[in-house]
Each structure stands twice: as structure tokens, then as C-alpha cells.
Amino acid sequence: MFKAATRFFSIGRTLGSSAVSPAVQPVKVSPVLAARQIIPENASKSKRKSSRRREKRLKSQIIRDVNNLKQVEIRSFKFQVDPVLGSPDCAFIKRLNTALNEPTHLAYGFEREEFEKLLYGAQKASLDQNIAGDEVAESIFAIEEKKRKALLTILHMKNTNAKDKKKLAIKLAREEFQREEGDTASPEVQAAVLTARIHSGWDHVKNSFKDKVHSQYIRQLVHKRQRILKYLKKDNPEQYFYAIAKLGLTDDVITNEFNMGRQYFQDFKVFGDKQLVKPSNKEKAKAAKVEDLKKRVQDYNRLAKENYEALYGKPNPSA
């Protein structure tokens, strides 16, 4: 009854959704099935002829509307993750934030091993000068322990500034992504360092909306990270996909154009639900046309399902 070359037009994602999701099944529309006119057996010749003309016109309209909707959705592409911060579930960023609060890391660039050696040397020097016996030695141990606790409190990462935390985050990022000891120039290390810088400076962006200079600095870091990862994709695709997965990014946020402007701040609610971009009347009318187009395509899907059930007496398995 139907032609073997019947085409099925698929929409990239479920109609009405605002983001691309690979888990969503595409909506399929068969122009032939949706435009099918159920003609009674006792219909006259003129009635059959007019139904065929109506079916042909409706099929052309369905093809046109579905293709227009596909073009609209391609143009209104939404990123899978935040193109600046990446996925909120990124294990690498969580490890950085946890490490910045661990007592094993000290502020102002001090190493814990060197710190312990220094305290041990001071304690040993005090004990070597002791000639009064064990009671004085015990008091020396107590005094040195108090000094140790006081110094650990002073050098705790919670008591340092943002600049010092950023230095430690960059060091940890470099150590985690380096290909070999001392590696500071490989693309994945540079991308990891830039990601650490972006996250370190993001709180200031959120708390200081009017600081345009700092926002421009973060914007430059994001674009530089894009360029480095694009180069890594050409040079070593396997290492590229490993690096972006570890950084909480996706391929679309690297390869597509992106502008960290007011529209981004509004879409990802950086400053809450504050409206930063007010749509014009022309944009509102365009959005209304798109919604009307989506409703028509949904009606075509419903019509195709009803026609299939009327012709075959059972639900369409591909619907």
C-alpha cells in the first residue's frame, strides 16, 4: 500500500526540550502516513481525486515544516555542559577543592615534609641543650607541640588568600595531568592549569558583576583553553577525549563558538534568575512562530499514529 522509499524525518531531540540529550529518542514523522487520507470504499471518483490532491499538499507541508523545525533546532543549539565551568560532577574539580582544605597542604608555598623536618630540628636542638633531666625534657616536648599546633593553624589553607590557593590548585592540576616528571608544556597540562585558574577566579565573577576587567580575564582563559584543546584534538584525538572527560567538558563546548556574555550569564543562571537580556518584540514574535511550528509537528505525529491504527488496527511500533 505504501511506497518502499517512504522517508522518515527525525527531529534531533524531543520537541519542546531546550537542551541536547543523547538519552532522548528522536520523534519520527512519516509524511506519507501523516498525510494519508482515509477514503471510504463507496466514495465517488471526484471525491477520491480531491482527497489525493489534499494528501499531496499536506505531504509537502509536513516535509517543509519538519525540515524548518530541524533548522531552527540546529541554530538554537544548547551546550551539554557549562562551557566555562564544565560538568558540576567533575571528579577532578572536586579533588582540587578537597585538596585545598586538607591539612597536608600548607599555605604560602611551604611543604609539609620540610615543615616537619624544621620542627624536628628545632626540638632536637632544644633537647641537646637540656642538661636538667627528663622533667625539663617533657616540658620541652610540650612547648614544641604547642608551637607546632600554632604554626599549623597559621599555615592552614583556610587562613590564606585566594592567590595562594590558586597557586596550589595550579600545582596540583599540573601534577595530575603531566605526562612525565616536570612536564609543564603539554596541551592537556596547559588546559588543566587554565581550568584551575578559571575555577579559582569564578567566585569573584559571581560576587562582582561590575568588575568587567576580571570577567574579560576569565573570558580570555576560556578561549585560550578552547584553542589548546582544539590543537590537541588534531594532534592526539585519543588524549583529547581523555583530557576533556577528566576536565568535565564535552566536545561541543570546545568545537562550537561561544561568547561569555550576558546571554551566557542568563542561560546558566550565574547571577540567579536575574534577567540580563530583554527580548525584543521581533524576538518574541519569532519565538511564538517556533512554538507554533513545534505544535504543528506534534500534530503530524499524532495524525500519523491515528492513521496507522486506522489502517492496520494496531498501534505503530515505531511511534
pLDDT score at 3:
40
Residue 121 falls within a domain, yes or no?
yes
Residue 231 falls within a domain, yes or no?
yes
For residues 251 and 83, give the distance between their C-alpha atoms in angstroms, rounded to a whole number: 10
Domain's final residue, options 257, 273, 304? 257
Cell of 41: 470504499
Whether residue 249 sits in one domain with residue 178: yes
Residue listed under C-alpha cell 507554533: 292
pLDDT over threshold 80, residue 8 = no
Least reliable range by pLDDT among 73-77, 98-102, 184-188, 219-223: 73-77
- At 112-127, the pLDDT tens digits run 788 888 888 887 887 7
Least reliable range by pLDDT among 28-37, 45-54, 162-171: 28-37
Burial class, 243, CB count within 10 angstroms (exposed 0-12 / middle 13-18 / buried 19+): buried
Q: What is the distance between the terminal CA atoms of the chain, rounded to a whole angstrom?
A: 19
CATH assignment of the domain containing 182 = 1.10.287.10
Of 39-48, 59-68, 128-137, 186-195, give the range with the top mean pLDDT: 186-195
Whether residue 170 sits in one domain with residue 249: yes
Residue 298 and residue 319 in contact, taking contact as beta carbons nearer than 8 Å: no
- At 234-293, the pLDDT tens digits run 999 999 999 999 999 999 999 988 889 888 998 888 988 888 888 889 888 988 999 999
Cell of 136: 625539663
Mean pLDDT of 9-27: 38
For residues 319 and 314, give the distance between their C-alpha atoms in angstroms, rounded to a whole number: 12
Query: Which of 131 and 170 is assigned the larger pLDDT?
Result: 170
pLDDT score at 199:
95
CA angle, residues 206, 207, 209, in degrees to nearest 5: 75
At position 258, the amino acid (one-letter code) is F
Residue 234 falls within a domain, yes or no?
yes
Whether residue 230 sits in one domain with residue 169: yes
Average pLDDT, the chain: 83
Whether residue 171 sits in one domain with residue 57: no
Distances in whole angstroms, Cα of residue 34 to Cα of each of 10, 49, 85, 117, 313: 14, 18, 44, 80, 16
Whether residue 87 sits in one domain with residue 61: no
Q: In terms of residue numbers, what domain contains 228?
A: 82-102+161-257
Cell of 90: 567533575
Residue 30 and residue 303 in contact, taking contact as beta carbons nearer than 8 Å: no
Whether residue 176 sits in one domain with residue 90: yes
Whether residue 98 sits in one domain with residue 115: no
Whether residue 92 sits in one domain with residue 218: yes
Whether residue 293 sits in one domain with residue 233: no
DSSP state letters, the chain: ---TT---EE-SS-TT-SS--TTSPPPEE-HHHHH-----TT--HHHHHHHHHHHHHHHHHHHHHHHHHHHHHHHT---SSBTTTB-TT-HHHHHHHHHTT-TTSBSTT--HHHHHHHHHHHHHHHHHT--S-HHHHHHHHHHHHHHHHHHHHHTBGGGS-HHHHHHHHHHHHHHHH-SSTT---SHHHHHHHHHHHHHHHHHHHHH-TT-HHHHHHHHHHHHHHHHHHHHHHHH-HHHHHHHHHHHT--HHHHHS----SHHHHHHTTTTTT---SPPPHHHHHHHHHHHHHHHHHHHHHHHHHHHHHHHHSS--TT-
pLDDT score at 155:
82
Residue 120 falls within a domain, yes or no?
yes
Query: Which of 260 and 23 is assigned the larger pLDDT?
Result: 260
pLDDT score at 318:
61
Residue 189 and residue 227 in contact, taking contact as beta carbons nearer than 8 Å: no
Residue 240 falls within a domain, yes or no?
yes
Full-model pTM: 0.67
- At 35-91, the pLDDT tens digits run 888 888 888 888 888 988 998 999 999 999 999 988 888 777 788 899 999 999 999
Residue listed under C-alpha cell 568545537: 255
pLDDT score at 24:
36
Residue 2 falls within a domain, yes or no?
no
Residue 39 and residue 51 in contact, taking contact as beta carbons nearer than 8 Å: yes
Residue 29 falls within a domain, yes or no?
yes
The total domain count for the chain is 3
Whether residue 209 sits in one domain with residue 86: yes
For residues 34 and 47, give the distance between their C-alpha atoms in angstroms, rounded to a whole number: 19
Whether residue 93 sits in one domain with residue 242: yes
pLDDT band at 26 (very low <50, low <70, confident <90, very high): very low
pLDDT over threshold 70, residue 18 = no
Mean pLDDT of 291-311: 89
pLDDT over threshold 50, residue 130 = yes
pLDDT band at 2 (very low <50, low <70, confident <90, very high): very low
Residue 54 falls within a domain, yes or no?
yes
Whether residue 242 sits in one domain with residue 126: no
